[in-house]
Structures are given as structure tokens and as C-alpha cells.
Amino acid sequence: MPPKFRPRFFIILLLATAATISVHSLSNALNFERLPLFREAPAFRNGRECPQVTWSSIINGQSRHDPSSIIHIAMTLDSTYLRGSVAGILSVLQHATCPENIVFHFIATHRRAELRRTVTVTFPYLNFHLYHFDADLVKGKISSSIRRALDQPLNYARFFLADLLPASVSRIIYFDSDLIVVDDVAKLWNINLGAHVLGAPEYCHANFTNYFNSRFWSNPAYAASFRGSKPCYFNTGVMVIDLVKWRDGKYTQKLEYWMRIQKKYRIYELGSLPPFLLVFAGNVEGVEHRWNQHGLGGDNLHGLCRDLHPGPASLLHWSGKGKPWLRIDSKRPCPLDSLWAPYDLYRHSLLFSDS
């Protein structure tokens, strides 16, 4: 006699199986989404005037010649902004007089093996290191901001460069992942920081009331942070940092202090920028504005098209909501996105399909 069919049991089994498959599929989608593929970049070689350095001296952050002959650049890497990072790297190398004397220091929170493979395959001749950033260092200190992208732990990795990089690296250029360099980066590297810890283009006409809310300004102790100085706005996507002075002055702890204040009292809305303004504004070595033509991504809400600022440009920065690769893919590019496109090494699937 055949066994009795139990429809209720069968339905429960089907639902449980479907749920397991859905959870597994979701996990794969979240954690194992394939990274973008890129064309291999050309090899860029030093000019005859470049000092010769060995790979061992690059690893140690030192040279037998002038220490400034090795340029150190830090950038973050993640799947969301990887296409922008690759374009930025290519732009630096393409315009450098001594590209073989540049070392990139990449920082990632996850998928480091895949990111390392992507960088190695795309830039076979690149000198680089890849560091792990522990997101737990900041997760409990981040409060929501005006744009979700600003709330990601990796956005705060710039606070910890002095801890992540080896002590042999005494100076670093920090670049965001949504910019291209159209000049020799050595010009930026060789600026004189004087007694300052940090150098960046400053904008002293900025109204600081836009960066902090009424809870900040109504607290005399907080508002006094800018007393006795002439604070100027600066964009933290392009900075030259003296890591020795940073470590000696314990500036990471100073930035973390304001993160804790923000978490408790919510005194601003703009992610990682306000702590930098609170700690450094009024004490920054001014850099020519040409080294950060920022805001090309529009504001943080709408990402509308913008024009270049008046004057020459050595670096174009799509800070703001609008990113050139997303606007290009959506067939709604802004006019200035055409300046980014030549550095895009992304392999479009339609161009490389087998059909």
C-alpha cells in the first residue's frame, strides 16, 4: 500500500527549501558579487631625468637618493568605487614624469584578495601595498549623514593613515576615488608644508554655519574651537600629510574625539569632513586651487552638472552625488564627464562578449 501523501508536510518542505535557497542567493549577491573587469593599462616608464630607485627601497619607503624621489599615494578600494579608483590610478601614472617612483597604498575593508588580483592584472607594473582597515574601529562611532555613501566605514580610513602605513612612510598624498590627475603629481608631492601637518587647497570664503548645525553653534565650548584662528574650508579628498607630525600630535585621537561628540549630540550632517575642519581648519598649508577642482559631482542630494571653477586645473574631482561612470552608463553624462572617460579602463560586457 503506497504511503499516505501529506500535502501540508510537502508544502512546508518546499517553503523551507525555497527560503534556504533565497538566503544563500542573497548571501552570494551581497558577498560574492563579481568585481568589475578592466582592460590592462599600458606600462609607464621613468624619464631619463628620474632618480633610480630599487624595489627594496620602495618597500621600505626609502631611497639612497633624495627621499622625495619616491612618491607615496593612499587611496581606498571597494567594489562600489573601484571603477573610479582605477581611472584615478591611470591618470596619475599617465601624467607622471617618474611613474616607476610612485607607490600606491591601498586600503580595503573586505575582498582584499580579489582587489589585489584586480589591481595586479590591470596594472602589472604598479608598485603597491594593500592594507586591511578594520571597520569595527569606527562602526560604533559613525552617525547617519546627508548621504548614505558618506556613512561607510571606509570613508573614515583617512583618519587612520598614520596607523595603517609603516613608520618608514613619513609623507603621504591622500586621494579620493572619484578624481583624475591631469598634471605631474610630483608638483603636489613637493609642496613645502612648513610647520603644518596637512596641506590642501583652502576656500576661505566658505560660510562655516553650513557645516555645523545649531546644536554646535549654541554650545560655547564647541563654537570656541575656531576662536583665535581664521578657519577655511578644505576638501578632504585631496590632502598632503606629514605622517611624522600627525603621529607626534596624536591627530587620529583628536578626530575620534569629535566623532564621539557627534554620535552623542549630532552637531553636523556631513560624514567625515567636519572632524577634519574642527581639528585642522585655520592650520592648513594652502595649496593652489588647481589641485582640487572639486564639486564636479554636484551637491550631495541631486548631483547636478557643474562647470569648472575659473583658473587652471591639475586635478578634477567629482565630489558630490554624481559620479561620471554612473552618469555615462545611464546615458545621461554631464559635459565634464567627457574629461573622465578617457581614463576609464572598464571592460563593457557587450564589447568583450563571445557572441
pLDDT digits (tens), the chain, 355 positions:
555 555 555 554 445 545 444 444 444 444 457 899 999 999 999 989 998 887 665 655 554 445 568 999 999 999 999 999 999 999 999 999 999 999 999 999 999 999 999 999 999 999 999 999 999 999 888 877 655 666 789 999 999 999 999 999 999 999 999 999 999 999 999 999 999 999 999 998 888 788 899 999 999 999 999 887 888 999 999 999 999 999 999 999 999 999 999 999 999 987 889 999 999 998 999 999 999 999 999 987 788 999 998 999 999 999 999 999 999 999 999 999 999 999 999 997 654 444 3
Q: Phi/psi of residue 158, each to 5°?
A: -60, -20
**Which residue pairs, CB below 8 angstroms and at least 24 apart, start in 116-120?**
118/35, 118/36, 118/38, 118/82, 119/77, 119/89
Closest CA to 225 of 263, 247, 255, 270: 255
The whole-angstrom separation of Cα 112 and Cα 118 is: 10
Q: Which residue do the cell numbers 581639528 mark?
A: 279
User: pTM value?
Assistant: 0.87
For 21-51, give one letter per residue: b (16+ CB within 10 A) or e.
Answer: eeeeeeeeeeeeeebbebbebeebebeeebe
